[in-house]
Structure 1
């Protein structure tokens, strides 16, 4: 297990710290060209889509792999249920202590709390961790979990939560457009076609090399985003959300998977993906719908550090 942890932590910490330091020392004028915003747009439109096609070369698309998005939807439901239960308990506690006192959490805080407890970083962070732990053989499970699970949850359930608790309103057809215009979804479909009709060897090797090259870039982008965190407040609500997202949800998912016949490494990948810290998408939704930024950025920053502590636990319990 120590060898596996070293293989995971070395690039995970190394590239993230490099991105963090670059963002701190980079001249302000350079942000326009190599800052987190242009780098994020490149990853969204080019890096991630081509990486998906590259990683899908040689992926085993057996029937069992299609359970991955179902596990994602289940984990989101578990997180949402526990988040709602916590807020309901807070409401009952307030009524018992001081019935006339206002609700301790504002609507914006409740929205950010729900997002942090449900939507995980199964792409930028989940991909490199699952690749390091389980290799390319079971990467398809992580891919299906992210694209057919987290993607739809972020632009479906996430948008619904943000619009309910925020100051904006979005129509159902707009949610559909958000999903359909996502390049990763189109590249996923193209990757499925290329699995059945493989491209020439040189192209397949080039796509695979490009995909592996995007892993350090995605981690550097994550480090740049963490370097932009200015206020680490609201530790209590962020801590409760992380307890749900990083510990309770993957624990329940792992216990449920223990009774199935899926391959051990596939189970581990699903547990790891269900236990990823809050996604960058939570910050995007927070900004778009004017939710509580302190809870969101605190959950993002602390969650990234906390996953380094929970990873050995899942390897110990469900590692093969």
Structure 2
């Protein structure tokens, strides 16, 4: 539970930093750019390098991609019904499709189900959510971002110039390679900055007093991500007949709040970043209620 407390403390420190003159309005942007160009690519590369693919655990990789696909359909329908603009639709889509399955999901799974089940959460994250962030997240920013080109060439150009996606490609090409300890230490050092920087940045941009117009999209994000998604995951697993630890961990990961990096992508991609970051903050706070309740339900299943 120490990791969960760590996240809350960093959010609070980010929020408090707005009252300190040394942290000006450009601080969050600087932190976000550092994450996009250094911290995140280093993390992607390290996670992919040496990854062991096991077909027996395929369902843990398939479920998050199914949720991404269904998120696209549901958010598109809601956006048309409510008349949202592109930037708002893109921010909501990122927030609903991508869950905080790693640096919130890992400690949560460890706390509720034990360290011996953490491997299932890692597979769900690395083969599912993490790949979706690198590929799907880049596409969303390219299509929905302010001033972005909607042409196929423009989208491909943005994807191929997005540092985390380049790191993903390099990771696959060099998946079995061994690197000098100095390089590994450098990458691990950069990767270690990811969690504190992104959570601090989100905290600094968090606004609890949201305009009335923001309440509905934030509520829709939290409903779809933290309630509807685990229900869909339950239905998928029920059809496959899978039970036991994989069943519980998969549903638990599907119920995680919106991913912190989704908020960073929304901000740097000129989407409605204030919507995404607010959903992240509220989602993390709400998860301290929803996750224990879900655990009780899974224990009775």
Give the TM-score of the pair, scaled to structure 2.
0.74
- 1:156 equivalenced with 2:136 (yes/no): no
Determine whether 1:112 maps to 2:91: no
Residues 1-320 of structure 1 correspond to what in structure 2 (within 5 A)? 6-27=1-22, 30=24, 32=26, 35-56=27-48, 59-64=51-56, 70-83=62-75, 105-108=82-85, 112=88, 115-116=91-92, 119-120=95-96, 122=98, 125-132=100-107, 133-134=109-110, 137-138=119-120, 139-157=122-140, 159-160=142-143, 162=144, 170-200=150-180, 203-204=183-184, 207-208=187-188, 210-226=190-206, 231-234=210-213, 235-258=215-238, 259=240, 261=242, 264-265=245-246, 268=249, 271-273=252-254, 275-277=256-258, 279-280=262-263, 281-285=265-269, 287=270, 298-317=278-297
1:184 Cα deviation from its structure 2 partner? 1.4
Shift of residue 38 of structure 1? 0.9
Taking the aligned partners of 1:40 and 1:202, their CA distance within structure 2 comes to: 26
Between the aligned partners of 1:65 and 1:284, the Cα distance in structure 2 is: 34
Distance in 1, matches of 2:189 and 2:276, equals 34
SS at match of 1:277: coil
Asked if the contact 1:44/1:183 (under 8 Å) is kept, the reply is yes
Alignment partners' CA distance in 2, 1:309 and 1:198: 43
Q: Note the C-alpha offset of 1:265.
A: 5.0
SS at match of 1:276: coil
C-alpha distance 183-296 of structure 1, shift in aligned 2 (>3 A): closer
Deviation, 1:170, is 1.9
Distance 1:117 1:73 in 2: 14
Number of equivalent positions: 286
Give 3-state SS (helix, strand or coil) of 1:178's partner.
helix
Alignment partners' CA distance in 2, 1:197 and 1:297: 37
Tell me the distance in 2 between the aligned counterparts of 1:262 and 1:200. Answer: 42
Taking the aligned partners of 1:56 and 1:49, their CA distance within structure 2 comes to: 11
State how far apart, in whole Å, the 2-side matches of 1:68 and 1:159 are. 28
- Find the aligned partners of 2:93 and 2:282 in 1 and give their Cα distance: 13
* Structure 2 unaligned blocks of 5 or more: none
Larger Rg: 1
Q: Structure 1 unaligned segments of length 5 or more: list them.
A: 1-5, 92-104
Superposed CA RMSD in Å reads: 3.8
Q: Give the superposition deviation at 1:264.
A: 2.9
User: Counterparts of 1:39 and 1:87 in 2: how far apart (Å)?
Assistant: 30
Deviations 1:248-272 (A, max 9, x none): 0222113313435598358625752
Q: From the superposition, tell whether residues 159 and 260 of structure 1 become closer, same or farther in structure 2 (CA, over 3 Å).
A: farther
Question: What is the distance in 2 between the residues matched to 1:247 and 1:8?
Answer: 23
Alpha-carbon displacement from aligned partner over 1:105-125 (angstroms, at most 9, x marks no partner): 4342x86257425644848x4
SS in 2 for 1:128: coil
Q: Distance in 1 between matches of 2:156 and 2:95?
A: 18
Distance 1:294 1:182 in 2: 22
Paired residue secondary structure (1:126)? coil
SS in 2 for 1:25: coil
Distance 1:83 1:156 in 2: 15
**2:49·2:175 contact (CA, 8 Å) conserved in 1?**
yes
State the shift of 1:150 in Å: 3.2
On the 8 A contact 1:56/1:191 being kept in 2, the answer is yes
